[in-house]
Chains A and B, each alone.
Chain A
Amino acid sequence: MASFTLRYIAAPWVMSLPGGGGTSHGGVRMGETLAAELLGGAQARQQARRLAEQEFRPRRTAVGVGAALLVTAAGGAVSAELLTVLDVLPDGWSPMARSMAVLRGLTWADPWTLGVAGTMAAAGPALLLAALPGRARTLPLAGEDPLMAGAVGRAALRRTLADAAVGVPGVVRARVRLRGRFRKRIVVRAATGYRNRPDISDLVRAAVHARLAEVELMQWRRVDIRLNRLGG
C-alpha cells in the first residue's frame, strides 16, 4: 500500500526527470526513492520543529512550583483539620475549634471574605493565562535532524539584524523589533541622512534578508522596513 502511494505521488516527477520514462521500471524506482527522500525530509523537519517547540517554550517552573505549593498547603491544612475531627490526629495538630468559630462568624458579605474571594477570582484567570504556551524567549533555527534543536535569543537576533541594516551605506542607525504572535514579522526602523536614494529601503531589506538567510530561522518572517529620513 505504501509503495503504491509513493509510486502514485512520484509519477508526475518521474516524467519530468531526465531518463525518467514513467513506464520504465527504473524510472519508477528512481521516482519512488526521490519521493521517499522528500517525504522523509519533511517528516524529519516536522519532528525537528516539534522538538524545538518542546525545548524552547517557556517552562513556567516558578508558576508551577507556586501552584503546587498552594495545592499542597491548602490540601494539607484542610486534611489536618478534618483528620482532627475524625480523631485520626491528636487535638494539638490543628486549631479546629478556632477555625470552625471563624467560619461560623464570617458572612459571605464580610469584607474579609470578599477580599479572599476576590484574590482567588483574580489569581485563577492569571494561572489559566500562565498555562497557555506563551512566547518563547528564543527563536528556533531550521534543521532536519529530529534529535537536534537550536535557538538564538531574540535580543541577539535583533542586534545582528540591526548591524546588517546599519551596514548599508547611508543608514545611520537601525532598530529592529520582532512583532506578531500569528503573523510574525520583523520591523526594521532605519534612519538615513540620504534624501536622494529612493532604493535605500530595498537595500536595507536585502541586507536583512541576507542576514536572516545566514541565521536560518525555523519560521519565516516578513520584513517590514520603515525608513526615517534625517535632516528636516
Chain B
Amino acid sequence: MRVGIALTGTALAAAGGAGLCLGLAGGDLAARPLLDPAVSRYADGTAWFWPVAAAAAVAVAACGLLWLAAHGRAMMRRRRAALDGPTRMRARAAERDLLRDALRLPGVRDARLRLTGTAVRPRLLLNLTCTGDAVLGEVYGELGAGAAERYRAATGMPDLVVVIRFRMVFGEPAPV
C-alpha cells in the first residue's frame, strides 16, 4: 500500500514539477499550448500512438481499481474474519473463556475481542481496559502464557496472531 502511495506521489511530483518548469521558464516554450500541434501531427501520423496511449491509460485505471479493491478487502478483513463455520463456532465457544480469564487478571476492568484476518493468517484483536495503576507487563505476560495459548488450542489455530491494545482508565481528574 505504501509503495502505491509513494509511486503516486512521485508521478504527481514529477508531472507537477515539469508543468511548473515549463510554465515558469518563460519564452517560446511557456507560450506553447498544452497539446502541441506537433504532438497532434505525430499522433495522427503514427498508427500505434493512440492504441498504446489507450492501453497505458486502461492499465493505470485497472491498477487503481485493483488497489481500491485491495483496500476494501483489507478493511473488511480487519472487521470480520474469513473463517469457515466450524472454526467460527469453536472461536465463539472459546471467546467466553478468554474474556473470563482476562477479566480475572489484576487491574483489568473490561475486555472485548474480535477475530479478524483470513484462514491462512487469522488474527485476534483484544481490547483491554485497565486501571491506571495496572501492571501492564504482568497482564500482557499472563495473557500470553495462559489465556491466549488456551484460545489457540481451543480454536485449533496454533498460528493465531494475538494483538492486544491496552486502554487505561484513571479515577481522579488528571494532575497534569
Query: What number of A residues sit within 8 Å (CB to CB) of B?
Result: 81
Chain A, range 130-149, C-beta contacts under 8 Å to B? 130-131, 138, 141-145, 147-149
Chain B residue nearest in CB terms to A125 = B13
CB distance from B61 to the nearest CB of A (A): 3
Chain A, range 35-94, C-beta contacts under 8 Å to B? 51, 55, 59-61, 63-65, 67-76, 78-79, 81-83, 85-86, 88
Docked Cα-Cα span, A177 to B62, in Å, equals 46
Instruction: Tell me if B76 counts as interface (CB < 8 A to partner A).
Output: no
Point out the residue from B6, B51, B133, B148 that lies within 8 Å of A160, measured CB to CB.
B133
| Interface pair B168/A128, CB less than 8 Å apart | no
Chain B residue nearest in CB terms to A164 = B133
**Contact count A vs B, C-beta below 8 Å:** 261
Q: Known contacts being A109-B23, A151-B166, A163-B133, is A68 close to B67, with CB within 8 Å?
A: yes
| Interface pair B164/A150, CB less than 8 Å apart | yes
| Interface pair A150/B140, CB less than 8 Å apart | yes
Q: Known contacts being A109-B26, A150-B163, A160-B133, is A131 close to B64, with CB within 8 Å?
A: no
Q: Known contacts being A69-B68, A141-B136, A159-B132, is A149 close to B163, with CB within 8 Å?
A: yes
Instruction: Tell me if B58 counts as interface (CB < 8 A to partner A).
Output: yes
CB distance from A146 to the nearest CB of B (A): 9
| Interface pair A71/B64, CB less than 8 Å apart | yes
Q: A74-B61, A83-B58 are in contact. List 17 more A-B contacts (CB 8 A).
A: A60-B2, A60-B5, A71-B64, A104-B40, A117-B16, A121-B16, A125-B9, A128-B5, A131-B2, A138-B165, A148-B144, A152-B166, A153-B168, A158-B176, A159-B168, A162-B174, A174-B176
Return 17 A-B CB contacts under 8 Å, by A number. Answer: A67-B9, A71-B64, A72-B68, A86-B54, A104-B37, A107-B32, A108-B22, A117-B23, A121-B19, A124-B16, A126-B9, A131-B3, A152-B165, A159-B132, A163-B132, A174-B176, A215-B135
